[in-house]
Each structure stands twice: as structure tokens, then as C-alpha cells.
Amino acid sequence: MARAAGPERRLLAVYTGGTIGMRSEGGVLVPGKGLAAVLRRLPMFHDEEYAQACQLPEDTLVLPPVSPDQRVIYTVLEWQPLLDSSDMTMAEWVQIAQTIERHYEQYHGFVVIHGTDTMAFAASMLSFVLENLQKPVILTGAQVPIHALWNDGRENLLGALLMAGHYLIPEVCLFFQKQLFRGNRATKVDSRRFAAFCSPNLPPLATVGADIIINQELVQKVRGKEPLLVHSRLERDVGVLRLYPGIPASLVRAFLQHPLKGVVLETFGSGNGPTEPELLQELRAASGRGVLILNCTHCLQGTVTSDYAAGAALADTGLVSGSDMTTEAALAKLAYVLGRLGLSLDDRKQLLAQDLRGEMTPLAAEPRPSLRGSPLGRQVAQFLSLSNNSQEFNAVWDALLPSLACAASHAGDLEALQALVETGSDLSTEDFNGQTPLHAAARAGHAGAVSMLLRRGMDVNARDSDGLSPLLLAVRGRHRGVIGLLRAAGACLSPQELEDAGTELCRLASRADGEGLQVWWQAGADLGQPGYDGHNALQVAESSGNLEVVTLLQSLKGRASASAPGPVSPHPGGAGSSPVVNAQIPGVGNVVGRASLSTRTPSFLSPVPRLAVLLAGRQILPQVRARQPYTTRSCHLRWSAVGLGEPLPHALVEGSVPEGNGPRLSAPLALYAEPQAVKVLGARVTHMAAFSQEPSPAVKTSEDPPPGPPRRLRLSGPNTSRCGILRWRDGEGTGWAKNAAGWG
């Protein structure tokens, strides 16, 4: 963080009242006048010799020098009358903002001395009222009056003056107990201790101790040179409603009546609330009348999500997620957004969901810059060029690699990834969150990076520490190209990831979000899965009268088995038991033992995407690279293709390869596919998904199915596909079956 330049830094200290200047009258504390005179008598706040030399006026003081070449001179502007912070309203906070506006060009920064009870509300409100702020505005106060022998007022006020005078932090901040917080992230948590404030979901911008430590990466950056803009029009008809167990719907109805225009709804946990139908109907009716309802958790830390059915039920009523905003920030944001003229209801909802002043953690972080050309990239390149095989070198590199690989993948930096590959690095490494580079690339929607990582043999179904797969991250980001690549490589959503998919599909259907439904369908989700109330997406769309969504769901339902083969349903055996496969196996008598369905690329085969035109009767020539020497006379490959942005059915490719060992095996392979697959021209083969040896000569095979019902085989591993090549073993040998259809 750059320090403020110039020999003199001039500040305006606006004294509005509060405990810091209070005096005891009749046994109670009341606002005390004449704060400037009190500070003048304290050497830590005023250098009288310097002031006389400069002939400063009575209301202007100067701090003792922190450095020999810079002074902080501050003027105390005392309100008449002084107010207890409990009496502060939006009108007074707008008045503070207008005071800053009038003196904006005369001073380098501003300190607002305010009572602690509503200081977090004031800081949040000022952060929205003051737009294009390029100078520090720091609020502070005290738990104990500055006149007391043991108090916190001196340190708090001195710290605020030093931070505003010596550092360029263009934000509305709150300084208390040696910490500088972003104003709209702070909340009061203690009525007696000196550490009265905290910032639950954002670290302090600065910490004062023997040294002043600035968290530079957290400080808001100045965007352009636009003049300061004060938004004095705020909507007063906003409120806060805290849910509690068993809250009557009649109380909610009474609270949401006219003239209320916006409400912060404090909910349980991660944004949950009662699912009592009458209460939900009251919220839905209020949203329908144009009342903006902002969903904020009453927990001190954490964010609002729709992970639970109770939270999804609230979201379906039209609530806007408040993410991790404090109640103070949410109320201020509502007043600001509703006070803006010329905006539609959807525009206002969009503004509420956006991070405007750093008040909330954005849902999607901006793509990281490329490693190439950056100072870090150059230093890493120099580090990699060192020929050092010491244990220290290897330890440092092992620590750096996960972060570098994930950063390059998140930025879609193919050159950086290739540079890591050329060093012999294993890109399947995990970072401290258990995420692989494939997770990072899928989250950011970089199809090129995803394709490259898949070619390197990355585990397409890897799970991070939260149990999330790259496919689910791509679904959340609605990256359809990435979803197609992952599905073609064999990716599937786990039962845990699909547990609440029905509720999410119902939510999308209620909002006529066709794109969201198509994304889940493309990822293999069952569109008929019911939500928390037993209804599925189609039923929700029909009850809502969304004919377009109904048509879409009906069309997708008809194409699901051909275009989007979904994950296998949980088998009836329960956790820990092997799924059962029913398959027609040509030429097989009594089968004894376990079988496996080949769905992932074995270690000896490296999948290589090849371009091919899918035409009826035409042959293609894909190349199969073996990681280890491999001998066989024939092979069977299961593959997937992507055409026109949609996955095609699995098809069987059969051919022969030359006998012998070699790093690369190639052969003309004849294509066998269902008719609907051949209709799509210009399709692109994206992944060779499985490899299987030829049938053992010791086993009799034929094209005719065996008499009697299909044999029931138990899989030795998880079954993640509904069709493919079934490799099996019995007491006499091994065998195989083409197009073995089954379920688990």
C-alpha cells in the first residue's frame, strides 16, 4: 500500500457525538461539547509548538510527527447539536455525506467520530451513499469516554487519524481496537469489551501494532477519476424481519404490508426458514407486489446458499440471496437500491445480487491473470531453470506445483500448463482444498485447458475436499462446452451431487430458466427427479403455466436416453454391496464369479482426441497410444463424440491392430453406431474411453444369445455407464460381450 505523499496531510474530523466525548450529568452519560479543546490538552493529539509556528486556528490541531518529513493536520468540525448514535437516522448519515462532499477538495481524508451503537449501520450506509470515493473516510468512536483514566477513545481516534493521514485507502472504513475494517463488513459484537467490532467474512484491511500491516490485496482500487457522487435519495420504508421457530404467518403478513418496500429477512443457518405453506405464500405474495426481500443469515459467519430444501423453498418465493452480507450492509443496500430512480424491479434485484462496494463476496471470482509475463511467472521460470536436484529444491517445487497448476488452469493459460508438463510435473496434483487443475479449468469454463488436462489422463471424476467434481463445477458455471468434454470423457455426477438435484431443477423450472435445465440435462441429471415436496420440474412448470419450459422438458425427456446417458441409479443392495448387471452375453453358459464394465481408460492407454467426420459407411482412422508395451491381435474401443453442442450415443468401434509391441498402435476401425448418431454430420471424436482385450480363445463365443433368461453378474467395481463392453471372468476363462446393456 502506497503511503500518502506530501509534507502536510490535512484531514477533517467530523464530530457527531457518541461515547468518546460524553460527560456524566445526573448519573448518566450525555454528549459532551468542546472535543477540540479536550484534544488540544493531550500531547498525543496536538503539537502546540508546531501549531503556533503555523498560526493554526483554534479548531485545527496537528499530530506530533510520525516521520520527519510529514505532518498530519486535522480540523475538528463539531455538530450542533451533538447526537447519541441511537438517535441517528438516514437523514443524519446523508448529512455527514454532504459535509464530506462540501469539503472534499480541501482535505486529503476524513474521520467521522460516531457513537458505537449504530456505527456499523452508519459505515454501511456511507459506503453506498458515497460513490467514486478516492479518499479515506474512517469512522471511529469509543466504549469509554476519552475523559476517563482508562479508556479506548484515545487509541481509536489516534489510530483513525494516522490511517487516514498516512495511507491511501479509498474506502469507507471503521477503525476500532487496533484494526481497520471495511465499513460495510463490520458489525458490533460486544457492548462492554474494547474489541467491540469484528468483520466476520472479511479480514481487517489493516492491523496496528509495533508495525502497521496493510492487507493491500483487500483494499478497493480506485476505478477511474470520476468526481465524487453523493446519493442523497434513500428509501426509508425498509425493515428487518428475523425469523424464529414457529413464527406465525399472520405476523409475517402484517410486517410485509404497505408502505414497506424492502426487507432484510434474517434466516436460519445458510439461508433456511420454515416451509409452512401459509408463510411461504405470504413471502411469495409480497414478492409479487414488488417488495424486495433480501435473504441474509442471522449467523455471524457464513453465506446464504440453497443447499437445503428449506433454503430452496424460500428461494422459490422470489427472495434475493444476500450472500455473506451483514444485516447492516443489507439494510443500507436496500435503501440505496430502492432510492435509485428509473430502475425496474429486475434491475433492482440484479443490483442487490451484485457486489457494489465490497459488501459481499462475489459468487464468481474474476479470471486470474496469466502467469506469463508476470513477476511471479518470471521468478518461477528462473527457479525452474536451475539445475538443482537437492531435497530442498524438490520440497519447494512440490509445494509450488499445485498452486501453479491450478492458477494456470483457472486462467486458461495453455502455455503455462505446457511449461509445467515439460518440466516433468504431474498435473494431477491437488491443492490444499483437494482441487485438481481440472477442477479449476472446469470452474472457469476454459474448454482448451480442460481438453489438454483430459489428454494428460486427469481423473475426470476426481472429488475435492467438499466432494465436488469438475462436472458439477462446470454445471454451476453453465459452461456447456466444458460439460460436453467432461461427459465425453466419462464424467458423471455422484449420488451425493444429485441428492438435491430435484429441488434445484424445480427451482429452475419455477423461474422459467430453460438454460439451467438444459445444463443439468447435459450433465446427465434425471429431469424427472422430484424436489423436496415430491413434485418434479415438469409438474412445477405446468402448475406455473410456463409452456415453453413444459415443451423443453418434454423434448429433453424424450431424448435423454439417446443424447444424455445419465449416471446409474443407486442399486438396491445398499451401501457397500456390488451392483447387479443384467446382460445378454453371447455364447456363455453358466457364469461363475464377478464381472466388470469397462468405463475408464486403463493405465496403459493414453486417450488421444482425433478429428473425424461421422458419415454412414465411412471408416475413420484414430490413433491409440500405449503408455506401456502392449500386444494383441484385436481391440474393442468404446467412444463418445460431440456434435452440434450435444453428446451423441455411445457406439462400438471394432478393428484389428498389428501384432507386436510398440509405443503407438493404429488401425482402420469400422464404425458401428445407432442411426440417430449417424445423422449428425461434422461430429468430433473427443475421447477414447475404454480399451479391452480380445476374447480368450479358450471360451466359445457366438452371435446367438444363450437359451434362458439373461445372466445376473455382480460388478467388482462401480458401474458408471449403461452401455459398453462387458469384460467377464468365470471358472474356465475370460470373455467379452458387445453392447452389453445393464443397470446397477
Please report, in range form, the residues annotated as the binding site for substrate: 85, 116-117
Query: Helices 547-563 and 514-522, interaxial angle, to 10°?
Result: 10
Q: Is 89 a catalytic residue?
A: no
In angstroms, what CA-CA distances link 295 with 81, 298, 505?
37, 10, 21
User: One of 19, 60, 116, 327 is an active-site residue; which one?
Assistant: 116
Pairing of strands 262-267, 292-297: parallel
Asked if 507 and 473 touch (Cβ cutoff 8 Å), the reply is no
List for the chain the helix, strand, coil content (%; round to 5): 30, 20, 50
**82 is written with which cell numbers?**
451533538
Q: Which residues are bridge partners to 653 per DSSP?
A: 637, 671
Closest-CA residue to 603 (of 627, 575, 586): 627
Residue 96 backbone zone (phi > 0: left; psi -120 to 50: alpha; other: beta):
alpha
Q: DSSP H helical segments within 41-192, as ranges?
A: 48-54, 90-102, 119-129, 153-166
**25 is written with which cell numbers?**
450529568
Query: Helices 501-510 and 514-522, interaxial angle, to 10°?
Result: 150
Asked if 493 and 273 touch (Cβ cutoff 8 Å), the reply is no
Query: How many other β-carbons are positioned within 10 Å of the β-carbon of residue 409?
Result: 31
In angstroms, what CA-CA distances link 254 with 215, 241, 247, 250, 251?
45, 11, 12, 6, 5
Cα 730 from chain centroid (whole Å) = 49
d(CA 410, CA 169): 29
Task: Read off the amino acid at residue 433.
Answer: N
In angstroms, what CA-CA distances link 486 with 261, 407, 461?
45, 20, 9
Asked if 597 and 723 touch (Cβ cutoff 8 Å), the reply is no
d(CA 380, CA 386): 10
Q: How many CA atoms, within 13 angstroms, populate the side-chain half-sphere of residue 236? A: 7
d(CA 645, CA 361): 33
Question: Which string of DSSP letters, residue by residue, matches 14-25?
Answer: EE---GGG-EEE
Cα 661 from chain centroid (whole Å) = 48
Location of C-alpha cell 483457472: 410
Query: How many other β-carbons are positioned within 10 Å of the β-carbon of residue 103?
Result: 15
d(CA 389, CA 49): 64
Q: Please list the active-site residues.
A: 116
